[in-house]
A and B are shown apart, each in its own frame.
Chain A
Amino acid sequence: MKTDELAKSQHIQYIKALDDKKDDYEYWLTEHLRLNGVYWGLTALCMLNAKNTFDKDKIIDFVRSCYDSSTGGFAAFPDHDAHLVTTLSGIQILATYDALNTLSEPEKLKTTEFIKSNQLADGSFQGDRFGEVDARFSYTALSSLSILGALTREVVDPAVEFIKKCYNFDGGFGLCPGAESHASMAFTCIGALAIVNRLGDLSSAQIDQIGWWLCERQVAEGGLNGRPSKLPDVCYSWWVLSALALIRKLEWIDFNGLRSFILKCQDIEKGGISDRPGNEVDVFHTIFGLAGLSLMGFDDLVSIDPAYCMPFSVTEKFKKYPY
């Protein structure tokens, strides 16, 4: 195996074995991320054209078991609490399996209500009833509602106003108005605007400035960082690239440099991708490394939708807002 090749079969093996790690303490410590983990693993497998690696029925049963009938949201694991972030993961997994109909109409309605009930007066979203506000939750809310075909002007318009306030002078977005720019927020904010078909709200000068800030994330080693003077990390291959793709400036970064950085982060024996060369791999960096390669068109990966972080073959079925 050469280090300049994507270790596809190893990555498939790695993801397949994720649920066999019950002898590791870390497996139990990450239970609060289980539903997200399933989404990351499944989407990575989709890109690797190995969707059938997971047992569809078992996964759908698990997602169903995370549904919290009292709120209508999804929790990361049975008996945990529903949250906007995990709700999106649940919906994404069901949508990927074309199994949203396993939710009954009343259940779906309840989910929609759960998401909408977390929108605040200024258009922002809190993650759950405890009030944490973050542009991430705007993204997860809008993306979930979009997949459910339940976006409305009443939700979208104030949400967009809030997101636009997260834009900073440097061309990046912060987690709330006034917060420092962070590359992950470029994806959540631009992705959310793209999903609700409101990218046009950004001026062309803003788009240029966003593209500039994003392409300056690429460092000499080829990888991308999340903020100025920070080390590169594979997950930004997604956060930065998806945003660049959505504003149609993907080529503003150097593909070959980024690809070689991502490939250096592979564990070519056991599979999986890490944040930086030589570090421990995890499913989070595995999906975002693959997603970055997919966006750049490398390695024959199934192409991924930069707005939804799901295969185009899945997202093309979504009803596009405005309906």
Chain B
Amino acid sequence: MNAPERRASMAERRPSALDATSPFMDYRRPSLIVPHLAGIEDPLPETTPEKVDVMIAGTGLVESILAAALSWQGSNVLHIDSNSYYGDGSATLTIDQLKQWVQDTNAGNFRGYENAKLQVSSAIGVNSRFQSKDFGIDLSPRILFAKSDLLTVLVKSRVHQYLEFQSLSNFHTYENDSFEKLTNTKQEIFTNPSLPLMIKRNLMKFIKFVLEWENQPEVWTDYADKPVATFLHEKFKLERPQVFELIFSIGLCYNIDVKTPAALQRIRRFLMSFDVYGPFPVLYSKFGGPGELSQGFCRSAAVAGATYKLNSKLVSFDPTSKTALFSDGSKVLVTEQVLMSPSQAPENSQNVPEQKYEIQRLACVVEKPCSEWFGEGENAAVVVFPPNSLKSGNRQAVQSLIMGAGSEVCPQGTALWYLSTTEVGVRGEMDLDAALNALEESIMRESSADLENDESFIQVGVNGHLTLNSVKLGQSFKEYVPRERLNFLAKLYFKQRTSTPAFEVVDSGIFDVNTTNKGKLIPGASDNGVLYTSLPSAEISYDEAITAARVLFQKIVGSDDDFFDLDFEDEDEREDESAILDDEDDAMNMNLAGDMSAEPVEFAGEMEI
């Protein structure tokens, strides 16, 4: 079988042996060891090991983090995937790979995925304007908060050195047929002339409060069981636009019923992430999202000794003899644990936990740069449609992530739109379509020539005195009917199930690990004794990944003390100073390990007197 044409892998973009004369060879950067991975650059291992401690099936993000954590902890890991690519449910795929994936999904090959529909324009294909491998479509796109467990682990494990990150600062809320950009920084609150003075005060008061909300129960305990909207309105006197912005864009919550503490936790996550690496809360990896990160962790696991094998499917596991049997007839003894993504479950498996939560996803390739939505120098944005903001009367929020060509997942002149909702069934698809229409109308309107000449946005004079703008982005063009329609190059709908709820709180308690029917073997089942991971949830951030991997790690090792307990002390103790952002030619790279931007160290003390 010919594997579909694939995108350049991480190792090809960042080879292990960098040419010393290359401009990318930064003397401050500890030398990169990017090992090749079996199946992509290297031939598959001819034989699998006879005996391993842990066997993991599926190279999704959680499984890959786990594989790296276990390998560095000292476990002997065999990590396989039934696909010809890395990433499983977290994969980043080309259009051709996507076509194959849709066929496989609809044939029932991936448990948890169903009802996939793909339309591809003839503009993509051999001898066409665009090639299949120009695109890297994420099956579960994600954004990374600058202050998060995952980023800590990425740095500690040095997996971040395999990756390139870009910043994302624009979050838009869709309301009344138009987009509002967030007012969430001190700067925006101060300089936005349309905010009444008392609202400025109350917003700032709330932002200060929420950063320390747990230590101030006297402020919120009366509202602990009430919707956060009531709390914001009554206690902080905030009005609807701010309330919606806080809940749906900053908090990225799914519906209006979210309870106060849960929402506060999510709002704080965003605000705490601000100014960690710069004036933005969120990052994403270039060249693809979780698929790219999965590869990074697999690579790290391989450095620590894990064996990798693609195109390899588990047929059955016998917990008594501890033998795993593979589709190619090979066998391996697994002394500790078999772990598996539900999507890779073998035939006759009967222990897969119920996947009771539904996510509807829509990914589109549009022929439009969409830079109107991006912050200066940026290539991506988040657009949120709060409940009841769409023509479909949506009950749940629709979240969307827009990625431009600069993020290296699509060619110049195009952009990727990812939409998702937790709304179920037909309503879910209707909501996605309504959101898609709203996005389409908006981008046509905002990129129209009429508006390009319009300079009447907020004016800030040199004295800092603010003059009110005459129109807001999009608003004055509410009635504007675009002359042309947007050209969609590809559209992919699918439904995904998971056992992880679309949680309201970033809390490890949510990850109730699926346990096997211990001691109660189901006769004839091919997966007795197998521990199942969870498929990606509806959460748009990566926040679940580390928690999930840590809980699984603890389950296998007995404690999480050694979870990435790594200390890569360089022999020459070079400062671990590496740019997380892709700005190598920038005169001043941002510090990841040191935090120049956080609280600069006061100097005066060094004065000698």
> CB–CB under 8 A between A and B in the complex?
yes
Which A residues have a C-beta under 8 Å from some C-beta of B? 33, 36, 85-86, 88-89, 136, 139-140, 182-184, 187-188, 225-227, 230-231, 233, 235-236, 239, 275, 284-285, 309
| Cβ–Cβ contact B608 & A139, under 8 A | no
Please report the C-alpha to C-alpha distance between residue A36 and residue B607 in the assembled complex, in whole angstroms. 10
Q: Is B604 an interface residue (CB 8 A)?
A: yes
- For B603, give the chain A residue with the smallest CB separation: A226
Check A85 against B608 for contact (C-beta < 8 Å).
Answer: yes
Rounded to whole Å, the gap between the CB of A107 and the closest CB of chain B is: 23
**Chain A residues within 8 Å of B609, by CB:** 36, 85, 88, 136, 139-140, 184, 187-188, 309
B222 close to chain A: CB less than 8 A: no
Contacts of B607 in A (CB 8 A): 136, 184
Q: In the assembly, what is the distance between CA of A283 and CA of B546, in Å? A: 42
Residue of A nearest to B605 (CB): A235
A214 to B599 CA separation, bound complex (whole angstroms): 22
Q: How far is the CA of A34 from the CA of B149 in the complex (A)?
A: 43
Complex Cα distance A184/B606, Å?
11
Contacts of A183 in B (CB 8 A): 604
22 contacts between A and B (CB under 8 A): A33-B608, A85-B608, A85-B609, A88-B609, A89-B608, A136-B609, A139-B609, A140-B609, A184-B605, A184-B607, A184-B609, A187-B609, A226-B602, A226-B604, A227-B602, A231-B599, A231-B602, A233-B604, A233-B605, A275-B605, A284-B605, A285-B605
| CB neighbours of B605 from chain A (8 A) | 184, 233, 235, 275, 284-285
Q: Closest residue of chain B to A309, judged by CB?
A: B609
Against A, the Cβ 8 Å flags (1 = close, 0 = not) of B264-282 are 0000000000000000000
Residues of chain A within 8 A (CB-CB) of B599 are 231
Q: Write out the residue numbers on chain B whose beta carbons fall within 8 Å of the beta carbon of A285.
A: 605
Interface of chain B: mostly helix, strand, loop or mixed: loop
Q: How far is the CB of A195 from chain B (nearest CB, A)?
A: 13
Chain B residue nearest in CB terms to A225: B602
Given contacts A33-B608, A183-B604, A184-B607, 4 further A-B contacts (CB under 8 A): A88-B609, A136-B607, A184-B604, A239-B604
Tell me which residues across on chain B come within 8 A of A231, comparing CB atoms: 599, 602
Q: Tell whether, in the assembled complex, residue A182 and residue B608 are in contact, meaning their CB atoms are under 8 Å apart.
A: no
Question: Which B residues touch A184, using CB under 8 A?
Answer: 604-605, 607, 609
Q: Mark B359-373, 1 if CB is under 8 A from A, else 0.
A: 000000000000000
Return B211 CB to nearest CB of chain A, in Å: 15
CA distance in complex: A183, B609 (Å): 14
How far does the alpha carbon of A227 sit from the alpha carbon of B602 in the complex, in Å? Answer: 9
- Measured between beta carbons, the chain B residues less than 8 angstroms from A140 are 609
The interface size bin for chain B is: under 10
> Nearest Cβ in chain A — how far from B183, in angstroms?
22
A-B pairs, top 7 by smallest CB distance, nearest first, are: A184-B604, A235-B605, A36-B608, A85-B608, A226-B604, A230-B602, A233-B602
B280, chain A: closest CB distance, angstroms? 22
Does B604 contact A86, Cβ atoms closer than 8 Å? no
Closest to B599 in A: A231
Could you tell me the distance in whole angstroms from the C-beta of B602 to the nearest C-beta in chain A?
Answer: 6
B: which residues have CB within 8 A of A? 599, 602, 604-609
> Which residues of chain A have C-beta atoms less than 8 A from B608's C-beta?
33, 36, 85-86, 89
Query: Could you tell me the distance between the alpha carbons of A233 and B609 in the complex, rounded to whole angstroms?
Result: 16
A306 nearest CB across to chain B (Å):
13
Q: Give the distance in Å from the alpha carbon of A227 to the alpha carbon of B608 in the complex.
A: 18
Which of A33, A36, A182, A309 touches B604 (beta carbons < 8 Å)?
Answer: A182
Chain B residue nearest to A284 (CB atoms) is B605
- A140's nearest neighbour on chain B, judged by CB, is B609
Q: Could you tell me the distance in whole angstroms from the C-beta of A258 to the nearest C-beta in chain B?
A: 16
CB contacts (< 8 Å) of A33 on chain B: these are 608
- A83's nearest neighbour on chain B, judged by CB, is B608
Q: How far is the CB of A225 from chain B (nearest CB, A)?
A: 8
Interchain nearest-CB distance for B428 vs A (Å): 47
Please give the distance in Å from B607's CB to the nearest CB on chain A: 6
Inter-chain CA distance A226–B601, complex, in Å, is 11
CB distance from B367 to the nearest CB of A (A): 48
- Min CB distance B574 to A, Å, is 14
Question: A89 CA to B605 CA in the complex, in Å?
Answer: 16
- Which of A33, A88, A187, A233: most chain B CB closer than 10 A? A233
Q: In the complex the two chains form, what is the Cα distance from A158 to B606 in whole Å?
A: 28
Nearest CB in chain B to that of A88: its residue: B609
CA distance A136 to B392 in the complex (A): 70
Bound complex: CA of A275 vs CA of B602, how far in Å?
Answer: 10
Residue of B nearest to A76 (CB): B608
* Distance of A40 Cα from B604 Cα, bound (Å): 16
The closest CB in chain B to the CB of A33 belongs to: B608
Write out the residue numbers on chain B whose beta carbons fall within 8 Å of the beta carbon of A225: 602
CB-nearest residue of chain B relative to A89?
A: B608
Cα A188 to Cα B602 with chains together (Å): 18
Residues of B within 8 A of A235 (CB): 604-605
| Complexed CA–CA distance, A184 and B602 (Å) | 12
Cβ of B512 to closest chain A Cβ, rounded Å? 37
Q: Give the CA-CA distance A155 to B280 in the complex, in Å.
A: 53
Whole-angstrom CA separation of A187 from B599 in the bound complex: 25
Measured CB to CB, the nearest residue on chain A to B604 is A184
Q: How far is the CA of A33 from the CA of B606 in the complex (A)?
A: 10
Enumerate chain A residues within 8 angstroms of B606, measured Cβ to Cβ.
Answer: 284
> Which residue of chain A has its CB nearest to the CB of B600?
A230
The distance in angstroms between the C-alpha atoms of A139 and B605, with both chains bound, is 16
CB distance from A286 to the nearest CB of B (A): 12
Docked Cα-Cα span, A139 to B608, in Å, equals 12
**Shortest CB distance B569–A (Å):** 15
CA distance A227 to B605 in the complex (A): 12
Tell me which residues across on chain B come within 8 A of A36, comparing CB atoms.
608-609
Most buried by A among B599, B602, B606: B602
Taken together as a complex, chains A and B put the C-alpha atoms of A231 and B604 apart, in Å, by 12
Which B residues are in CB contact (< 8 Å) with A226? 602, 604
Please give the distance in Å from A218's CB to the nearest CB on chain B: 15
Nearest to A85 among chain B residues (CB) is B608
Query: Nearest chain B CB to A88's CB is how many angstroms away?
Result: 7
Query: How far is A235 from B607 in the complex, measured between Cα atoms in Å?
Result: 10
Give CA–CA (A88, B609) in the complex, Å.
Answer: 8
Nearest opposing residue in chain B for A229, CB measure: B599
Give the complex CA separation of A182 and B602 in angstroms: 11
Closest to A127 in B: B608
Nearest-CB distance from B595 to chain A (Å)? Answer: 13
**How many angstroms from the CA of A39 to the CA of B599 in the assembled complex?**
31
| B602 contacts across to A, CB distance below 8 A | 225-227, 230-231, 233, 275
Give the distance to chain A from B131, nearest Cβ to Cβ, in Å.
53
Separation of A285 and B606 alpha carbons in the complex (Å): 10
Docked complex Cα distance between A225 and B608 (Å): 18
Q: Which B residues touch A275, using CB under 8 A?
A: 602, 605
Expressed in whole angstroms, the Cα–Cα distance for A79 and B576 within the complex equals 34
The CA-CA distance from A284 to B603 in the complex, in Å, is 13
Residues of B within 8 Å of A239, CB to CB, are 604
Shortest CB distance A205–B (Å): 26
Specify which chain B residues have a CB less than 8 angstroms from the CB of A187 in the assembled complex: 609
In the bound assembly, the distance between CA atoms of A140 and B606 in angstroms comes to 15
A309 to B602 CA separation, bound complex (whole angstroms): 22
Q: How far is the CA of A88 from the CA of B605 in the complex (A)?
A: 17
Which A residues lie within 8 Å of B604 (CB)? 182-184, 226, 233, 235-236, 239
Complex-state Cα separation, A85 to B608, whole angstroms = 7
Interchain nearest-CB distance for B604 vs A (Å): 4
Give CA–CA (A86, B607) in the complex, Å: 11
- Chain B residues contacting A86 (CB-CB under 8 Å) are 608
Cα distance, A50 to B608, chains bound together (Å): 23
Task: Give the distance in Å from the alpha carbon of A236 to the alpha carbon of B603 in the complex.
Answer: 11
| CA gap between A86 and B605 in the complex, in Å | 16
Output the residue of B604, B605, B608 with the most chain A CB within 10 A: B608
Cα A221 to Cα B605 with chains together (Å): 19
A230: chain B residues within 8 A (beta carbon): 602
| Complex Cα gap A140–B607 (Å) | 12
What is the CA–CA distance of A53 and B553 in the complex, to the nearest angstrom?
55
Distance between Cα atoms of A184 and B604 in the complex (Å)? 7
